[in-house]
Amino acid sequence: MRQPYFRRQISRLQKPGLSERQERRFRVASIFVVLFFACGWSYAIAVSVETGEPIGILARMTANPLASDAPPEAAFLFDAALNRFAASVDRGQSGAVNVVIQESGDDALPRPDSLPAGVEAVLAPTDSATRGNPDVDPGVWNVLLRMGQVSRPIPNLNVVRLVPMSAKRGGRIGSYRIGDWPDKAGIYAQPSGLIEVTPQNRNLRVSEHLTLGDFVTKGQDNVWPKYVAMSTRLLDKLELTIKELEESGIPVKDIGVISGFRTPDYNAHGGSTGGRGELSRHMYGDAIDIYIDNDGDGRMDDLDRNGRVDLGDAKVLAAAADRVEKNYATLIGGIGTYRATGAHSGFVHIDTRGFRARW
């Protein structure tokens, strides 16, 4: 008995492969497609030879991939140049430092060994309020790679050019009160320059966990711009300390900053001056007082997990900083622990003064 028609059709569809007749048709169609494209290529090549200029797909294949009118393949090469430049910048042992600090007259940019032809590195303002020439003027500048009319910023990298100390008059720069550093030599010599902080750049991330505004001295709230000293070695030491905590099983989402840079005027007269040294490293930009504040309550977290916040938590943070010094001799400095007071919940002082100090 014959199968119904629709079952015979399904049975044919379920048979694997092609029938002999279908295979012959496929071969004929394939030959036709190949001949069609071969004729097209031959015509394009003939036109190219006659005119001396590539056309169509040939133009895409032979064009300079970095030219301003280059085909989309140029985007891949541009990204590669961007990544190469970013990897060439010294971001410290932690790899988390986002700024290069330079004095006036220094080379404007950190430069890799080479960039592809047609690609250049340039500086640009971080915001519309920034004015001047990025090659010579103080300020905070974005680092861009430029290819033709296309520019893209290097991720997490800015060049900071210092305002020279010669700009200070009568203990001030502009209206901002700074004071005078003690007349000392060596590691206690005054900074060579200061970083200008504006409302527009204060939230700039100078490292993974710190902003430029974290270093601003307390007080003079309505006076802008402000000025700070800041050491990239300190940024590096702090970020390495955070990595030590995380590797020991203590996650760090956020930190609180009690004190970063202190102007000499504030160090001598501002707030409660008890316990401040005449030669406090805070005046030189290489010291910071911090606590771990993952829950955002403005207090040190329970790092030793004993159910309360006390000096033991500060000691956990200090121990991580101490391990960093043992692994990185160039970051040696002071580490001090402070118990909770009426104003603070306990914190740790970290600096890179160049010799070991503990308290």
Residue 334 β-bridge partners: 357
At residue 281's C-alpha, the angle toward residues 277 and 287, to 5°, is 125
Q: Quote the tokens at residue 237.
A: 């030491």
d(CA 96, CA 239): 7
Q: Quote the tokens at residue 152.
A: 């893209």
Q: Give the number of other CB atoms < 10 A from CB of residue 214.
A: 23
What per-residue confidence (pLDDT) applies to 188?
Answer: 93
**Of 248 and 135, more confident:** 248
Domain edges within the chain? 13-60, 73-161, 194-358
Residue 94's Cα: distance from chain center in Å? Answer: 12
The DSSP call for residue 258 is E
Residue-wise pLDDT tens digits, 315-341: 999 999 999 999 999 999 999 999 988
Of 26-40, 82-96, 142-156, the least confident = 26-40
The angle that helices 311-327 and 232-247 make with each other, rounded to 10 degrees, is 110
What per-residue confidence (pLDDT) applies to 124?
Answer: 87
- Class in CATH terms, 194-358: alpha beta
What per-residue confidence (pLDDT) applies to 57?
Answer: 46
pLDDT above 70 for 111:
no
Residue-wise pLDDT tens digits, 137-174: 899 999 888 888 888 898 899 999 999 999 999 999 99
